[in-house]
Amino acid sequence: MSTLRARSADDMGMDWDFETDGAYAAKLAWADEFVRREVEPLDQVLGHPCDLADPRRAALIPPLQRRVRDAGLWACHLGPDLGGLGYGQVKLALLNEILGRSRCAPVVFGCQAPDSGNAEILAHFGTDEHREKYLRPLLDNSIVSCFSMTEPQGGSDPTEFVTRAERAAGGWVINGEKWFTSNAAFAAFALVLAVTDPEAERHRRMSMFIVPTGTPGFEIVRNVGMYGDPPGRGTHSYVRYTDVWVPAENLLGARGDGFGVAQVRLGGGRIHHAMRSVGLLGRALDMMCERALSRRSGGRPLGGRQLVQAMIADSWLEIEQFRLLVLRTAWRIDKYNDYRKVRADIAAVKIALPKVVHDVSARAVQLHGSLGVSEELPLARMVLDSFYLGIADGATDVHRTSLARLILSGHDGYDDLFPSAHLPGLRRAAELRFENQLSELEGDQ
């Protein structure tokens, strides 16, 4: 494993290298072996890793979590001031590359979505009581949570949300419906984005609330599955809020700050999805290479065919390019400690993510033929997941537009007839600048 690491000016005259420190590299090596031997097999025998009521999960996962704690790799997504270990986003990225290979690994290491993002919100905006009641057990994984934001009619565009929260009896009453609230069926509480000031400026209309899922009026209409999930096994819930009362202190942040509060979570969630996807892509590439070296066609190994070689080379290149973008973005998050200053970088990662996952996994499906599209390999599901990754935490096209606006804001237009790169104009300006020197040279000749 490697990453960018700042070095002193006196260190061999170099400013940067691509190695992490030796102590953390040893932890990564331990994690790699631990996930491969102890965690990946759990994917084959457990249901949803966040289902705390599953007796098999209760027997198998907590002992592994204790080993992760002993290894000093638990809840690496938070700094020490927020209840974590303070490794930062770059080191988390390197760890998440390993965890992305396994469905159960993020839970075993205490950094699973959506709990990791919700923990950031509680750490930044919660009161001491909130941290004790919700954040501490969330970090201990004695409870799980959900993030209730998207709506049936508005998708992920918060300016179209209609779920309302109104002041009443020393608190707030919430009414409305939320769509695709992941893990609501297992959650002890939800973080709910609701409209509190419908006449305010569009991004000041909403506020964020903690809603215990046992509150009267909290109703799961149905649990929605991804295509191919067994019937009744979906974990993305359609939730209805009917006169759900929460105390005034369950407001997170100030009234009207809900959009900004959500961005604290969504910025991290987007980059964390990308970090884990690097590991998923590495798994797909490994499968491609194994297939190319094992299967023959026309008397030759698939790996001897130029088309197959091109598929493998293109996949490796795309994964590495994406990985470097993710690591650079993680480094900038560590540097600025402010997601708002890294909006363009996170948007770029979000745009690149679904395409690289789709392209690499689709090539892997093709190399495996009918086995690739079957339920006996994970590859077809990876292709489907690429579309999910293009929707989760905001549609890719919205981020493409946002990135373009941010890029354009750093440039200027021109008022002249021709653009600034017009060669005749540049030539005239250069001739005027060096007129004296050129005249002297011509006089000497």
**Contact between 5 and 22 (Cβ < 8 Å):** no
CA dist., res. 181 & res. 193, Å (int): 12
CA dist., res. 364 & res. 18, Å (int): 29
**Contact between 314 and 307 (Cβ < 8 Å):** no
Closest CA to 168 of 105, 277, 91, 250: 250
CA angle 39, 44, 49 (to 5 degrees): 65
Q: Which residue's entry shows tokens 């994970």?
A: 378
CA angle 421, 422, 428 (to 5 degrees): 110
User: Which conformational region is residue 383 in: left (phi greater than 0), alpha (psi within -120 to 50 degrees), or beta?
Assistant: alpha
Burial of 137 (C-beta count, 10 Å sphere; 0-12/13-18/19+): middle
What is the model's pLDDT at position 13? 52
Label residues 67-86 b or e (16+ Cβ within 10 Å = b).
Answer: ebeeeebbbbbbeeebbbbe
What is the model's pLDDT at position 98? 97
What is the model's pLDDT at position 11? 47
**Contact between 291 and 365 (Cβ < 8 Å):** no
What is the model's pLDDT at position 7? 41
What is the model's pLDDT at position 22? 92
Write down all domains in the chain, each with its CATH number in brackets: 5-126 (1.10.540.10), 145-252 (2.40.110.10), 260-409 (1.20.140.10)
What is the model's pLDDT at position 177? 98
What is the model's pLDDT at position 364? 98
What is the model's pLDDT at position 320? 97
Tokens representing residue 132 in the block: 């004790």
One pLDDT digit (tens) per residue for the chain, 445 residues? 444 444 444 445 556 678 888 999 999 999 999 999 999 999 999 999 999 999 999 999 999 999 999 999 998 877 777 666 778 899 999 999 999 999 999 999 999 999 988 998 998 899 999 999 999 999 999 999 999 999 998 877 888 899 999 999 899 999 999 999 999 999 999 999 999 999 999 889 999 999 999 999 999 999 999 887 877 788 999 999 999 999 999 999 999 999 999 987 777 778 899 999 999 999 999 999 999 999 998 899 999 999 999 999 999 999 999 999 999 999 999 999 888 899 999 999 999 999 999 999 999 999 999 999 999 999 999 999 999 998 887 788 888 999 999 999 999 999 999 999 999 999 999 999 999 998 888 777 6
Q: How many CA atoms lie within 13 A of 139 on its CB side?
A: 24
**Contact between 178 and 192 (Cβ < 8 Å):** yes
Q: How far is CA 94 from the centre of its chain?
A: 14
Q: Which residue's entry shows tokens 């270990």?
A: 85
Tokens representing residue 260 in the block: 């900004």
Q: Report the 3 state secondary structure along the chain.
A: CCCCEECCCCCCCCCEECCCCHHHHHHHHHHHHHHHHHHHHHHHCCCCCCCCCCHHHHHHHHHHHHHHHHCCCCCCCCCHHHCCCCCHHHHHHHHHHHHCCCCCHHHHCCCCCCHHHHHHHHHHHCCHHHHHHHHHHHHHCCCCEEEECCECCCECCHHHCCCEEEEECCEEEEEEEEEEEECCCCCCEEEEEEECCCCCCHHHCEEEEEEECCCCCEEEEEEECCCCCCCCCCCEEEEEEEEEEEEHHHEECCCCCHHHHHHHHHHHHHHHHHHHHHHHHHHHHHHHHHHHHHCEECCEEHHHCHHHHHHHHHHHHHHHHHHHHHHHHHHHHHHHCCHHHHHHHHHHHHHHHHHHHHHHHHHHHHHHHHHHHCCCCCHHHHHHHHHHHCCCCCCHHHHHHHHHHHHHHCCCCCCCCCCCCCHHHHHHHHHHHCHHHHHHHHHHC
CA dist., res. 296 & res. 106, Å (int): 37
Q: What is the pTM of this model?
A: 0.89
